[in-house]
A = this chain, B = another copy of it.
């Protein structure tokens, strides 16, 4: 079977690494000449809305999936008309737009931060008075890793953030003082089978995910599963879906969804019985899903901007290196390490050792 992936970055690369053992072949559409997934399959080098490239991708793929949510809608529609595409166009459209996304969560009865759409300075002023401060103004589309958002702490910030972000559709969200950030990754195949990974507890640095730690038997697991299940079912979703959540006391608020494999699930490569990458492929091929349990105490540490020396990483006990083969650039995700340890103490030691290498 041939799998097409829109995007040829590290998520596509890790999907391919998980897919070859299933006997799959891969084609990547990516405009970058040095797309890091390219050595692992056929690379169609072109823009995501290049119809000739989309035609080739559809023709060479039994199923098309994607590694990011900002795929142009026209591309998703074209591909859906010419081959099988998972997840579907609706899931992508919802995930691409913070307003549609949060509106869906609210319709489904999921707890979320307060939010209001903002398309003008007047609307921003009204939204601030309704939601209160502090609050976060975000672009409705194209935001990631903390980009496309700004925090308003006092009334004087309104003009500044409007100048910074105004002119595109926006959303104002109430600022949540949370105890921790967690994410839940679930997978659903066409025939309806659903599985959930243990939640991950995430810490960020400069707006970018830094460490994800698997929390088997977390007290929030049942509620997180109920949340993600309701989203999966409402969208008749096929593939891996991630919800990012804030925990404040015993409240669990949904921040956003990612209709794809997710950085906070990279610990599953060595840390779960079957990884998020393999399960995404199984799901879109409607194969039986694999076990999602953690095989030990597991965590993931991102390498951002620079890579430590391979010899230093692989010399650490219980640590697995994942170098994406990308050129270094400030703020760029270049790789990660998975830690799989027999106990929490060993996990802590290895995480600390990895953090000190960065």
Contacts and interface: CB of A to CB of B under 8 A. Distances in A.
Given A21-B322, A274-B320, 11 more contacts: A13-B20, A20-B325, A23-B307, A23-B310, A25-B39, A25-B325, A40-B40, A290-B314, A291-B317, A291-B318, A295-B295
Contacts of A274: 320
A121 interface: no
Interface string A35-68: 0000111000000000000000000000000000
Interface in A290-323: 290-291, 295-296, 307, 310-311, 314-315, 317-318, 320-323
A282 interface: yes
A287 interface: yes
A103 B122 CA distance: 90
Interface of A: 13, 17, 20-23, 25-26, 39-41, 273-274, 282, 287-288, 290-291, 295-296, 307, 310-311, 314-315, 317-318, 320-325, 335
A40 B311 CA distance: 24
A21 B320 contact: yes
Contact of A314 (B26, B288, B314): B288
Identical chains bound together, number? 2
B17 A335 contact: no
A318 B272 CA distance: 11
Contact of A39 (B41, B314, B317): B41
Contacts of A287: 310-311, 314
Nearest to A326: B23
Residue of A20, A26, A310 with most partner-chain B CB within 10 A:
A20
Contacts of A335: 23
Contacts of A40: 20, 39-40
A26 B40 CA distance: 10
